């Protein structure tokens, strides 16, 4: 509704007051003359009353009057008084009049208050009702429109994804200079799909494209299309594209596209499913608009394997841009971006922090910088130093430190030998990642201690020996408990689970087993960008006899690893005792202290 003509409740109040004033003026000027009852009796005795209409509490009629020297008729009204009292008052020549009871509250409750309620409801509905939409506007698009003047994000705010920025530079050039492409007969892709793990900056990248191109930016989440009422999602899609055509050139960005773009046919409701109707309308709209108008559709998802094939064909989302987790150089660039507004100490080395955070996304790195600043403020420091950032990394990886948790000495001793077992096996296993920190301070939900290993470089492939080395390190804590205490605890539960997963993947998925050879039986429908812990549980595609062989070889791999680990820890029993005792004293050992205790330090 146009703000210049917007209806407000004050208009009703003003009109009501004006009507009351006009009515009062009319009554005073042209209405009947009000007589006191005593005056009415005098006029009656004088013979000037011509006619009277008697009501229950009042008298009205006509009387003689003199106006401008001429005798005329005038209407009058008087309130009746009890005859007995009026006779007594008349004896003493007392002027008296009838006094009506106040009916203001009754009138207010009878018609003024209902009128105000009616106008209030009407005003509420008019503000939310658009005649072009469905009931109460539920069919309206919920897209957030950001004008080009309000887009302050640029490519300088995005780091760690240089290849993705190069792919999207063409979109910016097209929105700025469409003639350069059209003169050669080329056209831009109708849709650009950003795929990648959560937190890698897909939404930020889309905003940066709009900021660089200086065009309006329509932002909406896939879940906002779906509504309780049937057909509302399709209606919102239509209105979104109508608005985009009016604002062209512009960018439409749909976040979490998999909320409406999942493959059709999976739902038992079939084509009558509201989500599928919304998807059908989206496909129609993407086919229907002219790319020369300068409307670019961008979307983001971390589940591309679930999308409908019709969305990914040429002419719709025909360009896919991978926004992956950054490498060490990208992580350093991201840390520098987030460090612009943080006061860092001169000795802070962001390269070292980047090396400590393999596999971290941009959102994780931003969280580290923020946690470091909060820790420094909590400790009343004037700048954020390396200790704060290192503690922030530990906090993100392992959880909140719980120094106040009371652990009895026996359990603390078990945890110390357990973590020392991990560290020693890592130190004496070829190709294993370097130990960075050993701690027996409880963290997170249930971790009583942890051993942190940091890779020297980013790795994208792993050999069989490296995988078996990881299994050895995971079993180091359990075997150390067996050697020292001659019994085991529940503390190795997570280690055993992870070791079993690696061994099973080696046999069933990577073709590294002896029994199955090159046959692979991977888990079905594993998400591309989600961790294995987030993968849905699925059934197996092999026979019971194959499953028995697979289980036996997984057991053999774990038993062989156990023997190798026992040999390492037995051969370095003195170091196992020395490091564990030092860990019990200090609770936390860094890389230099650990290397010194095992005879490798300077």
Catalytic residue set: 419
- CA-based nearest residue to 441, from 452, 425, 453, 457: 452
- Supply the DSSP symbol for 456: S
| Owner of token pair 């020395």 | 578
DSSP string covering 563-600: HHHHHHHHHTHHHHHHHHHHHHHHSEEEHHHHHHHTT-
140 burial class (0-12, 13-18, 19+ CB within 10 angstroms)?
middle
Annotated binding-site residue? 72: no
From CA 282, how far away is CA 277, in angstroms rounded? 9
Helices (H), 289-359: 309-312, 328-338, 350-355
Pair type for strands 70-79 and 33-35: parallel
Annotated binding-site residue? 291: no
Which residues, including other chains, have CB under 8 Å from residue 196's CB and lie 6 or more apart?
202, 302, 322, 323, 324, 325, 529
Annotated binding-site residue? 137: no
Annotated binding-site residue? 429: no
Strand order in the sheet with 70-79: 33-35, 70-79, 58-67, 49-54
Annotated binding-site residue? 201: yes
Q: Which residues pair with 72 in a beta bridge?
A: 65
Annotated binding-site residue? 200: yes
CA 148 to chain centre: 23
From CA 567, how far away is CA 192, in angstroms rounded? 55
Annotated binding-site residue? 198: yes
Helix, strand, coil percent content, the chain, rounded in steps of 5: 55, 15, 35
Annotated binding-site residue? 199: yes
| Owner of token pair 């490091």 | 579
Annotated binding-site residue? 340: no
| Annotated binding-site ranges for Zn(2+) | 418, 422, 495
| Annotated binding-site ranges | 196-203, 418, 422, 495
| Annotated binding-site ranges for ATP | 196-203
């Amino acid at each position: 509704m146009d703000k210049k003509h917007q209806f407000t409740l004050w208009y009703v109040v003003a009109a009501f007051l004006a009507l009351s004033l006009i009515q009062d003026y009319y009554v005073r000027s042209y209405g009947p003359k009000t007589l006191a009852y005593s005056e009415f009796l005098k006029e009656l005795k004088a013979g000037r009353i011509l006619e009277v209409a008697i009501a229950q509490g009042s008298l009205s009629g006509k009387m003689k009057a003199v106006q401008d020297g001429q005798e005329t008729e005038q209407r009058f009204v008087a309130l009746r008084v009890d005859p007995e009292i009026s006779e007594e008052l008349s004896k003493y020549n007392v002027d008296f009049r009838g006094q009506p009871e106040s009916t203001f509250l009754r009138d207010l409750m009878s018609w003024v208050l209902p009128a105000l309620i009616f106008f209030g409801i009407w005003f509420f509905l008019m503000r939310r009702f658009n005649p072009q939409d469905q009931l109460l506007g539920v069919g309206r698009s919920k897209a957030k429109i950001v004008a080009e003047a309000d887009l302050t994000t640029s490519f300088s705010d995005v780091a760690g994804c240089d290849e993705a920025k190069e792919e999207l530079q063409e979109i910016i050039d097209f929105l700025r200079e469409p003639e350069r492409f059209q003169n050669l007969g080329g056209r831009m892709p109708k849709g650009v799909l950003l795929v990648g793990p959560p937190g890698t900056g897909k939404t930020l990248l889309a905003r940066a494209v709009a900021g660089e191109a200086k065009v309006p930016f329509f932002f909406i989440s896939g879940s906002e299309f779906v509504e309780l009422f049937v057909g509302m999602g399709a209606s919102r899609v239509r209105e979104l594209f109508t608005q985009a055509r009016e604002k062209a050139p512009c960018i439409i960005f749909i976040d979490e596209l998999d909320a409406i773009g999942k493959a059709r046919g999976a739902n038992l409701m079939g084509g009558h499913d509201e989500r599928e109707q919304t998807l059908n309308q989206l496909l129609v709209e993407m086919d229907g608009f002219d790319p020369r108008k300068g409307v670019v559709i961008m979307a983001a998802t971390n589940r591309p394997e679930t999308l409908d094939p019709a969305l990914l064909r040429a002419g719709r989302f025909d360009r896919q841009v991978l926004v992956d987790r950054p490498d060490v150089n990208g992580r350093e660039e991201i840390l520098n971006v987030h460090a612009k507004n943080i006061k860092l100490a001169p000795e802070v080395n962001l390269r070292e922090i980047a090396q400590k955070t393999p596999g971290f996304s941009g959102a994780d790195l931003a969280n580290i910088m923020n946690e470091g600043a909060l820790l420094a403020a909590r400790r009343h420091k004037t700048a954020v130093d390396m200790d704060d950032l290192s503690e922030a990394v530990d906090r993100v990886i392992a959880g909140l430190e719980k120094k106040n948790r009371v652990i009895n000495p026996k359990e603390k001793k078990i945890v110390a030998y357990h973590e020392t077992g991990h560290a020693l096996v890592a130190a004496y296993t070829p190709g294993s990642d370097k130990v960075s920190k050993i701690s027996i301070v409880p963290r997170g939900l249930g971790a009583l201690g942890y051993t942190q290993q940091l890779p020297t470089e980013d790795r994208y492939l792993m050999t069989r020996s490296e995988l078996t080395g990881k299994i050895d390190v995971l079993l180091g804590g359990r075997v150390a408990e067996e050697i020292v205490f001659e019994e085991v605890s529940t503390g190795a539960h997570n280690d055993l689970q992870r070791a079993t997963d690696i061994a099973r993947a080696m046999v069933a998925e990577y073709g590294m087993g002896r029994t199955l050879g090159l046959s692979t039986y991977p888990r079905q429908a594993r998400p591309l960008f989600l961790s294995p812990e987030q993968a849905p549980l699925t059934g197996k595609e092999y026979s019971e006899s194959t499953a028995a062989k697979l289980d036996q070889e997984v057991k053999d791999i774990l038993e062989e690893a156990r023997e190798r680990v026992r040999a390492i820890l037995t051969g370095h029993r003195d170091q196992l005792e020395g490091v564990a005792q030092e860990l019990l004293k200090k609770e936390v050992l860094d890389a230099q202290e650990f290397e010194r205790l095992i005879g490798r330090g300077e």
